[in-house]
Amino acid sequence: MKQLVVISGKGGTGKTTVVGSFAALAERPVLADCDVDAADLHLLLSPDIREESDFAGPLNPVIDGNQCTGCGLCVEKCAFGALAPADTAEGGCATRPAPRLDEIACEGCALCSRVCPAEAIQMRRVIAGRWFVSDTRFGPLVHARLGVAQENSGKLVTLVRSKAAEIAEQRGAPWLLVDGAPGIGCPVIASLAGASAVLIVTEPTLSGKSDMSRVARLAAHFQIPALVCVNKWDINEGITEEIEAEAKAGGYRVVGRVPYDPAVPRSIVEGVPLVESDDGPAAQAIRALWHTVAAATAAL
């Protein structure tokens, strides 16, 4: 089984459009959407959910107002300002001595529970999101939804990635196609685990050039072969050539260019992969890109 991870270094470069079309072109793929903070591959693949589970996130303090003596030690010791004295609660009137918790500011360090002399604070895991195993007309899709302002997206990516790999092994699938997270942080690193190769989809802008370079170095750090594709290359041919020259100088293979094409946003509105909804310049370029990428990955 070959594991291809499509990454970008930044959001909005078109990697999900590419993965959606690859899903339609690949032989018996298993799919994983590891962009759990803003998952959208399901919008192109119209999955039928057959399994779903909660994702247990970080620990949050739960304060027992009946036990709390209002000593304020937890407020004093909290380094993140997540606890406020009861007399600063809404309305300016304390109805109980227990302090007020700002769940977004809380880092779950549990110091408040350790310093509380009345043992009024217990740490409990919160449900930070949900993950799903779905069926699409191309193959199984594992995806997730992280809650608003929730953390541990790297752990959720690892869960999604591991489940997708397990399904691929069980089915003897020749391809595991992963829509990776944008950027270079923890979710991206988790997306790369076990990858045979990465395809970096970038765009011909200064930020696209910089982000391509950063994420390529990340792949190199983990000794994963990197392939580079420039999306919407014809909106700035000069920067496209600079990106390709920089990629080649870094030892990364340039595998294709995809032109700007109004058919791309139309396919997104229709909710179908580009290669199914159109046979224009971008769709043809992505078809050629898949054959090049598949051959390059299979040769590794």
Q: What whole-number distance in Å separates Cα of residue 93 and Cα of residue 82?
A: 19
> What pLDDT is attached to residue 93?
47
Domains 2-56+134-298 and 65-119 share a fold: no
- Percent of the chain with pLDDT strictly greater than 90: 73
Please compute, for residue 29, the number of CA atoms within 13 A of its CA located in the half-sphere on the CB side: 27
In terms of C-beta density within 10 A (0-12 exposed, 13-18 middle, 19 or more buried), how is residue 25 classed? Answer: buried
pLDDT digits (tens, 9 = 90+) for 224-261: 999 999 999 999 999 999 999 999 999 999 999 999 99
Looking at per-residue pLDDT, the higher value among 39 and 175 belongs to: 175
pTM score, whole prediction = 0.84
Architecture of domain 65-119: 2-Layer Sandwich (3.30)
The answer to whether residue 56 scores a pLDDT higher than 90 is no
* Domain residue limits, the chain: 2-56+134-298, 65-119
φ, ψ of residue 12 in degrees (nearest 5): 85, 15
Flag the least confident range among 43-52, 121-130, 168-177. 121-130
Looking at per-residue pLDDT, the higher value among 222 and 58 belongs to: 222
Answer yes or no: are the C-beta atoms of 96 and 3 closer than 8 Å.
no
Looking at per-residue pLDDT, the higher value among 101 and 92 belongs to: 101
> What pLDDT is attached to residue 91?
47
Answer yes or no: are the C-beta atoms of 285 and 293 closer than 8 Å.
no
Contacts of residue 11, defined as CB under 8 A and 6 or more positions apart, other chains included, come to 38, 182, 183
> What pLDDT is attached to residue 89?
46
pLDDT digits (tens, 9 = 90+) for 140-150: 999 998 877 66
- CATH, domain 2-56+134-298, list 3.40.50.300, 1.10.1200.10, 3.90.180.10, 3.40.140.10: 3.40.50.300
> What pLDDT is attached to residue 96?
57
183 band by pLDDT with thresholds 50, 70 and 90: confident
- Residue of 6, 8, 5 whose CA lies nearest to 202: 8
